[in-house]
Amino acid sequence: KTPFRIVTDDQLERLMVREKEFFHQRTKKSKETFQNAQGMLLNGVPMPWMGDWGTSHPIFVHCATGNRITDIDGNQYVDFCLGDTGAMFGHSPEATAKAVEKQSRQGITTMMPTEDALWVGQELGKRFGLPLWQVAMTATEANRYVIRMCRVLTGRPKVLCMNECYHGSLDETLPHIGPDGKLELRSSYDSNPGIPKDALTRVVEFNDIEALDRELAAGDVACVLAEPVMTNCGMVLPASGYLEALRELCTRYGVYLIIDETHTFSNGPGGYTAAYGLKPDFLTIGKSIAGGIPVAAYGFTREVGEKINRSFGRKGVSDPMGVGGTLSANAFAIAAMRATLQHVATEDAFARMFAGQERLSDGIEAALKKYSIPWSVTRSGARCELQFMPQLPRNGTEAKNHFDWQLIYYTHQYLVNRGILITPFHNMMLVPPVATAEDIDLLIQTWQECLRELVETAR
Ligand code: PMP
């Protein structure tokens, strides 16, 4: 629990009782549907995260377009979660919807390439600065394939990742540094008890160059997998010079650098990589590049491409390497990616997203100041994060130390009850190009009211 809480547990609990009651009144049909779903879906949802919003039952969706979601009770929500980035440019973008409608009648999957794949490969190369590309279904999968390749290319077993990172449900990146300095599995992912955690993984704190040097010097690391800004434990920005040092150390120790742009794509048409001139060996991206249709991609240098082919003694990297899948790069997904990159994820869209984020962050900061609340806002591209601490966190541990689930659940429930969604697992808000100034001001005002009441309750 953060020391900068303002209210006591009891005060917060009393407010929560009121908000829960309000939620039940507003979402009766969702509640009933959830109860019925217990009969055939584990815990009433088709995928665990859908039950993780912190509300007593999930909101069942009737439809979602642009930045609006309507639930089955008829409530409307302004969406700043956007499917945890899957719908970063808005729900069902027109161009993507049209392309998938057309392609769905011209063949969905054939295990043969379509010409759209060339356009997509070239476009990804132009945007992210890496020449060769492969397509997967999800970011998890893209990371898994790339890790596998790095192991083969280096003959080394381990992946180095950042404490409290998230890169998908990969055994390699689930461990984190426990209180005794040893690796342990994150409690919510305590799912592979038989696997020795340190056989697969080395973990360091983000922004800690010394630790990075020490761990890479051990000589058993195949690759570093990192987001350039951590976005899954609150948000943690790279300190000045850190990403350059990361590149330099990877080169020195012959370790491949994989930059995961799945979330940081929100920093520009070529992600954080193009915006800040990073030079990764591999880049992975998923979620929003096809407007929410399951597609991911991974790019790499020509040198890596040649090494991959040499390592396997033949062109292509299918069976021997365990890379690829039957439905990966299917015609439907590729058409969705082309339409999204061509017409939706444009320079203009990003400019609107950045301006929206600045408006939102300015507004939240002004509200914090107004009520003398010692919390901070981390800004990066189209997203920002309200953190329950005065200074910005420098690493995963600092961010996690100020996680306060009671406060997160309460504030999110408060927002939900007033028609606003933000990322459920922390306080991340993503601004899509379709958000209007009024939408953003509504979020600011709702936070402001929520904060005002917290401060008054504490008096
Ligand atoms: N990389 C990052 C940075 C992510 O945040 C996530 C999911 N939140 C993933 C990879 C995995 O994405 P998916 O669940 O779509 O495979």
Domain ranges of the chain: 9-79+347-458, 94-344
The secondary structure of 60-125 as a DSSP string is PEEEEEBTEEEETTS-EEEESSTGGGTTTT-BS-HHHHHHHHHHTTS-S--SS--THHHHHHHHHH
Cα(262) to centroid(ligand 1), Å: 6
pLDDT reported for residue 290? 98
Closest CA to 296 of 267, 344, 336: 336
Q: Can you read off the two tokens belonging to residue 77?
A: 């929500």
* 451 Cβ neighbours under 8 A, 6+ residues apart: 367, 368, 371, 373
CATH for 94-344 (3.90.1150.10, 3.40.1190.20, 3.30.470.20, 3.40.640.10): 3.40.640.10
Strands 282-285 and 428-430: unpaired
pLDDT reported for residue 316? 52
Q: Which amino acids bring their CB within 6 angstroms of ligand 1?
A: 84, 138-140, 166-168, 227, 232, 260, 262-263, 286-287
Identity of the amino acid at 103 = Q
User: Residue 25 and residue 40: Cα distance in Å, rounded?
Assistant: 25
Q: How many CA atoms lie within 13 A of 404 on its CB side?
A: 19
Give me the interface pTM, i.e. the ipTM: 0.99
Q: Can you read off the two tokens belonging to residue 448?
A: 């402001």
Beta bridge partners of 283: 259, 299
CATH superfamily of 9-79+347-458: Aspartate Aminotransferase, domain 1 (3.90.1150.10)
pLDDT reported for residue 233? 94
* 259 Cβ neighbours under 8 A, 6+ residues apart: 226, 227, 228, 271, 272, 273, 278, 280, 282, 283, 284
Contact 350, 382 (CB under 8 A): yes
- The radius of gyration computed from the CA coordinates of the chain, to the nearest angstrom, equals 22
Atom of ligand 1 at shortest range from CA of 140: 16
User: Residue 315 and residue 305: Cα distance in Å, rounded?
Assistant: 10
pLDDT reported for residue 311? 84
Cα(225) to centroid(ligand 1), Å: 12
Atom of ligand 1 at shortest range from CA of 232: 5
Strands 158-162 and 221-226: parallel
pLDDT reported for residue 2? 85
User: Residue 234 and residue 412: Cα distance in Å, rounded?
Assistant: 15
pLDDT reported for residue 183? 87
User: Residue 257 and residue 223: Cα distance in Å, rounded?
Assistant: 6
Cα(443) to centroid(ligand 1), Å: 25
Q: Tell if the pTM clears 0.80, that is, is over it.
A: yes
Mean pLDDT by runs of 10 across the 459 residues of the chain is: 90 98 98 98 97 96 98 98 98 98 97 97 98 98 96 95 95 88 73 72 97 98 98 97 98 98 98 98 98 98 93 60 89 98 98 98 98 97 98 96 95 98 96 98 98 96
